[in-house]
Amino acid sequence: MKSPIRSHPLLPALAAALLAIASPAPAGEMDHSQHQAMDHSQHQAMDHSQHQAMDHSQHQAMDHSAHAGADGADPHAAHRAAMARPVAATTLDVAVPNARLLDQDGRQVSFVDDVLGDKVVVIDFVYTTCTTICPVQSAMFNALQSKLADKLGDRVKLVSLSVDPRRDSPARLKQASQKYGSGPEWTWLTGEHAEVEDVLRAYGAYTPNFTDHPPLVLVGDAVSGKWTRFFGFPDINKIIDVVDTTLASRKQPSYAHAH
């Protein structure tokens, strides 16, 4: 009689291996485990760290600093502070000089005789390279131009005077006037520095550094010498109210005497 076949100790392991080959794990189980073990770890270890270490640091170190001054200060800090202040209105007497100026078409004009005349005038102070206060004021004047359309001409006039006459040539003012849709009763003025400075000082709008000029709007006329001065950005309806009040005051005997 032959002796029975003895079980080899490696047979169970071999059988398990053959079973694994014959019945592989589902694709989903294998692929996801590989993806979890390798792909995500690489993405977390490389992509996000690179994004955090490089992209944001470049944006913080370069892009934002480019908008600030060389010392990191905001070059328009004075303008932004002025824009945040509440609007205040005061009345004052102004002896306006009859300065020799240039309008946006290059014509020489006398400030009192040719520009103000006997009209009620709304005046502001701007410069063409300004990017904060001046565009806001000019947009406001554009809105005033529409609101005062029935009064402009014979009775009311808008005036924008440059606080940077050395750079603001008539040609630059012409471009600005076209940009903001100025009509024939909205005059832009520049001129010799000394002549412009005399007008600015009379209105209390002069500053040694023109970039620090405050936001000002004045309503009045040269005949009576009575002006209302707004510091800040007043509601245009308040400006229109002062225009109407000034027009109404012309019916009083005191105004006729002044004229």
Q: Mean pLDDT over residues 130-140, rounded?
A: 94
Residue 62 lies in a domain: no
Comparing 4-13, 110-119, 142-151, 244-253, the range with the smallest average pLDDT is: 4-13
Nearest-angstrom CA–CA distance, 43 and 36: 11
CA 195/CA 218 separation, integer angstroms:
19
Does residue 142 sit within a domain? Answer: yes
Domain contains 174:
yes
**Mean per-residue pLDDT, 104-125:** 97
Give domain status of residue 60, yes or no.
Answer: no
Between 18 and 176, the higher pLDDT residue: 176
Nearest to 138 by CA among 88, 186, 103, 191: 186
Q: Is 70 exceeded by the pLDDT of residue 31?
A: no
Backbone angles phi, psi at 152, to 5 degrees: -65, 145
Q: What percent of the chain has pLDDT over 90?
A: 58
**Domains of the chain: total:** 1
Does 138 map to a domain? Answer: yes
Asked whether residue 52 is assigned to any structural domain, the reply reads: no
pLDDT reading at 214 higher than 90: no
113, 128, 144, 222, 229 from 121: Cα distances, Å: 13, 21, 12, 9, 12
On whether residue 204 sits in a domain, the answer given is yes
List the domain range (segments joined by +) for residue 189.
Answer: 80-258
Residues near 177 by beta carbon (within 8 Å), at least 6 away in sequence: 104, 186, 188
More confident residue, 171 or 8: 171
Task: State how far the Cα of 243 lies from the Cα of 208, in Å rounded to an integer.
Answer: 30
CATH number at residue 245: 3.40.30.10
| 155: in domain | yes
